[in-house]
Homo-oligomer: A and B are copies of this chain.
Amino acid sequence: MPLLVVGTLGLDSVETPSERRENVLGGSAVYFSYAASYFTSVKLVGVAGDDWPAEYTALLESRQIDMRGVQIVPGGRTFRWRGRYRANMNDRDSLETQLNVIAKFDPVLPEEHRRCPFLFLANGPTELQHKILDQCSGATLRVADTMELWIRTQPERLAELLKRIDGLVMNDSEARLLSGQENLVAAGHSIRQMGPRFVVIKKGEHGAMFFSKHETYVLPAYPTPRVVDPTGAGDSFAGGMMGYLAEQGNFEPGTLKEAMAYGILVASFTVEDFSLDRLKRIERDDLQHRMEEYRKMLSF
């Protein structure tokens, strides 16, 4: 089934302890879409300035990602993020975040987009996430991501959002901030009680946790010795997870767990190079092969 994602298209500048890249392709909806494209057809909704290279659009279209929902604002500047990773490659400092054109993005979705059964609200302004939900009232599965900025600046609107979605995906520090709980198991269930039927907490190099009324589990990350740039790992995780759910057309407990595993595996490729460079070199078969290793790793 088709999958709609709304989020940022970005130009990222990244410093790691050994390398740096300027203005490379990034953004939550971009990583998400590319990851999901291994599994299902994706419609990307977002906005960019006229500094957005046409080759990036072409790259995403080469993965059959529907880019008709992407608006290019003449004279506008694309969302930009600059970050620096610490030596452990898991912690990072955001040096600069320019919302630019996404700050005033007010999309009106075409009818075909509104009817998309699977919906993901990638990281972006909470108000924008509400606007999309207003237009996609018939979606079968509505999942959102959020981040510290919105938890701190828009707590009431975020609380309302949590009551309108089926699932929430966020990282560990955000879960602690939102719940006020240090223990992640307690945090997950506490956030679940704020509205969503399930909550996923991403732990970076330590994998991801899942919480629903009847289930609590954690799956480890795939142990890759080659971590070049973790940017986009969380969005790729969400893309792999939602892409697989959309492909399967359901979100039964068993499908959700498989989807979590696919999310973890797509993310494990993402971190092996800058931007989308590693994903550009893999196909679904590579995911399948790593999935076999992953299942074997967890069997005893």
Q: Which residues does A use to contact B, with CB under 8 Å?
A: 17, 87-89, 182-186, 189, 203, 205-207, 209, 216-221, 223-227, 254, 257-258, 260-261, 295, 297-300
Copies of this chain held together in the complex? 2
A260 contacts across to B, CB distance below 8 A: 300
Report yes or no: B89 in contact with A183, Cβ–Cβ below 8 A. yes
Q: Name the distance in Å between A200's Cβ and chain B's nearest Cβ.
A: 13
A218-B297, A220-B220, A300-B261 known; A225 vs B186 contact (CB < 8 Å): yes
Is the CB–CB distance between A223 and B227 below 8 Å?
no
Partner of A220, one of B88, B218, B258: B218
B220–A254 contact, CB under 8 A? no
CA distance A120 to B9 in the complex (A): 54
Give A218 to B223 CA distance when docked, in angstroms: 7
When distances are taken between beta carbons in the complex, the residues of chain B under 8 Å from A89 are: 182-183
Contact A258 B224 (CB under 8 A): no
Pick the residue among B218, B224, B254 that contacts A221 (CB under 8 A).
B218
Neighbouring B residues of A185 by C-beta, 8 Å: 223-225
- Compute how far the CA of A257 lies from the CA of B300 in the bound complex, rounded to whole angstroms: 6
* Identity of the chain B residue whose Cβ is nearest the Cβ of A254 in the assembled complex: B300
Residues of B within 8 A of A257 (CB): 300
For the complex with contacts A88-B182, A185-B225, A189-B225, 16 further pairs of A-B residues with Cβ separation under 8 Å are A17-B182, A89-B182, A183-B225, A183-B227, A184-B205, A184-B223, A185-B223, A206-B206, A209-B223, A217-B297, A218-B220, A218-B223, A218-B297, A260-B300, A261-B300, A298-B298
